Chain A
């Protein structure tokens, strides 16, 4: 067990500045109107730094810088762009504990997750897209003896990216790495709930990025996010968030005929077939962990497996074992490496989760464990902690239909395969799903039948760079990760060339 000291405390690997300006054109730039807002740590509820409260004028400055840098960055060779991304990856890797502590303090998540998942993945995503851009091929199509179609990839130009608060550094990387690899420059707005850790990262990598290639502007959605999303000076907007803002971003983009990619969440089913309990072995243990994955990152994951569907014949036994696993979750100081579940990212998130627990009980769902706010005592008393919660109910209940974004899973039984697929698909969303079975034919059929962009099969919550991630139905438009993400940040240029010396004879 290791307990890291909080940022700024003796022995802590990380120290936050007392104030963060914007990062524009390779420099720290104070917000035009001079405003800042306090940033509280969800670990304690206490403010620890302040960040720029930007407005449209700051977005314009960032767009100026991004446009100035765009032609040079687009003309930079893929090898040199890849080198920059690899150097960023190396720098993050060298500072992994420091960044882990910094982000825990900003977001509230447990440090074991930062060290085991978020940051290693962040490093790998930069390296992946550094490799992917160097290996990308255009196309040459010989249409006939005299005519050739050449297809070139070209960057879009300047792109706007709006980042969520649940994985601040990793989600920024999911958007930055492919955009930069493809030759775009970026204006990025972090979430106002977690504005600080990305500024910490920018300080660490400032010397590696050519000025203006990445510009980070902090502020509130309505004051800074909207001017970015509504700007006619961005070639594309990428957003992760929720449906109403997603629609608004599409609405703004339609006024400039600009494309968007949207990742808007889900209500992911995690389906357990009876044969998982055919033996009490390592696989059964893995399935129990798979159920418990709803608590990963305090449930603040778009693909949180927040609906568990368990086949009737094993329902009581399996759920009993799952509850034992859930009750063994260690919730505590997020800076303790033994802590599995930390703090919710903000006070309003805490309140929202509690309001969902309330409606779940009103709807008649049976509360099997958890269901309350947790007071961890001492300096953590002011933090935003919710006990991992398991409900039993029916898929028509709101706790089965709306993303709670907390450590809350709702469990229901199913009879047979078709039943499981029907319940799984009875949702407005289709981002993730899990299927657990020892029968690979069942796994294949269910995996293909579930309407979701990713179906984890005998695993959950793995996010490798080389696997596409994105939603069906209301979960959004487009994909993230995988080499195909380069296409989302590129134009296709077709040169259609005739090598014939002869006229067609039409005129």
Chain B
């Protein structure tokens, strides 16, 4: 993992940004929705914008900035966010296979979440205790 970039809650690695750029060339504007549950759960699922309907049950964690692309919003279900809100998420990529209907699967790569605790200063800035 190299440098990360992004918002206060989410970031991504250079490798993930590179993969996003190639997916963007094929599929256009992109989004993430963080999954929960079994099998491929806990994976960030990447879709063309508009493919996955978000609603009031979802929380927009932030938008990832990748040069040459529209911002990539990252979503998570609010009930899941209640358990994840104290952690900062970095979207990384590893060799792998299969991830629901996420776009990167045929490339032989998978997006993967790496987490760290938000610091007290970061939590304060986000308006959380």
Contact = CB atoms under 8 A, between A and B. Distances in A.
Contact of B115 (A191, A398, A475): A398
Interface in A455-504: 474-475
Contact of A355 (B35, B45, B53, B115): B115
Contact of A474 (B37, B45, B84): B37
A166 interface: yes
A398 B87 contact: yes
A125 B36 CA distance: 29
Interface in A217-238: 220-223, 225-226, 229
A324 interface: no
A106 interface: no
A348 interface: yes
Given A191-B98, A221-B102, A265 B41 contact: yes
Interface in B68-119: 77, 79-80, 83-84, 87, 94-103, 105-106, 110, 112-117
A126 interface: no
Contacts of A248: 47, 51-52, 100-101
B48 to A, nearest CB: 10
The residue in B37, B41, B94, B113 that gathers the most chain A C-beta atoms within 10 A of its C-beta is B37
B101 A245 contact: yes
B42 A402 contact: yes
A120 interface: no
A401 B100 CA distance: 21
Nearest to A241: B39
B13 interface: no
Nearest to A301: B38
Contact of A398 (B79, B84, B98, B106): B84
B37 A243 contact: yes
Given A221-B100, A348-B110, A246 B37 contact: yes
A165 B39 contact: yes
A99 B112 CA distance: 32
Given A220-B98, A351-B96, A402 B38 contact: no
Secondary structure class of chain B's binding surface, majority of residues: mixed
B115 A245 contact: no
A362 interface: yes
Interface string A358-398: 11001100000000000000000000000000000000101
A264 B114 contact: no
B39 A265 contact: yes
Nearest to B113: A355
Interface string B39-69: 1111101010001110000000000000000
A401 B77 CA distance: 14
Given A266-B38, A402-B36, A220 B106 contact: yes
B9 interface: no
Nearest to A401: B83
A92 to B, nearest CB: 24
Nearest to A254: B53
Nearest to B116: A362
B34 interface: yes
A192 interface: yes
Given A243-B41, A266-B38, A221 B80 contact: no
A265 B117 contact: no
A356 interface: yes
A396 to B, nearest CB: 8
A428 to B, nearest CB: 5
Contacts of A362: 115-117
A474 B39 contact: no
B106 A53 contact: yes
Contact of A241 (B37, B42, B84, B112): B37
B112 A352 contact: yes
Given A221-B105, A222-B101, A248-B101, A242 B40 contact: yes
Contacts of A351: 94, 96, 112
A193 B108 CA distance: 11
B86 to A, nearest CB: 8
B12 to A, nearest CB: 15
Nearest to B95: A347
A346 interface: yes
The residue in B47, B94, B100 that gathers the most chain A C-beta atoms within 10 A of its C-beta is B100
Contacts of A404: 42
A474 B80 CA distance: 10
Given A193-B98, A245-B101, A428-B80, A265 B37 contact: yes
B43 A242 contact: yes
A222 B105 contact: yes
Contacts of A185: none
Contact of A242 (B41, B87, B105): B41
A165 B99 CA distance: 11
Nearest to B100: A245
Given A220-B105, A398-B84, A428-B80, A241 B40 contact: yes
30 contacts: A37-B106, A165-B39, A165-B98, A221-B98, A221-B101, A223-B106, A225-B100, A226-B101, A241-B37, A242-B37, A243-B37, A244-B45, A244-B52, A248-B101, A264-B37, A264-B38, A265-B36, A302-B37, A302-B38, A302-B39, A346-B98, A348-B94, A348-B99, A352-B112, A355-B112, A355-B113, A356-B42, A359-B87, A396-B83, A429-B37
Given A243-B80, A263-B38, A359-B116, 20 more contacts: A53-B106, A164-B39, A192-B105, A193-B97, A221-B100, A222-B103, A223-B106, A226-B101, A242-B38, A243-B41, A245-B45, A247-B52, A248-B51, A266-B37, A266-B38, A346-B97, A347-B96, A348-B112, A363-B117, A396-B83
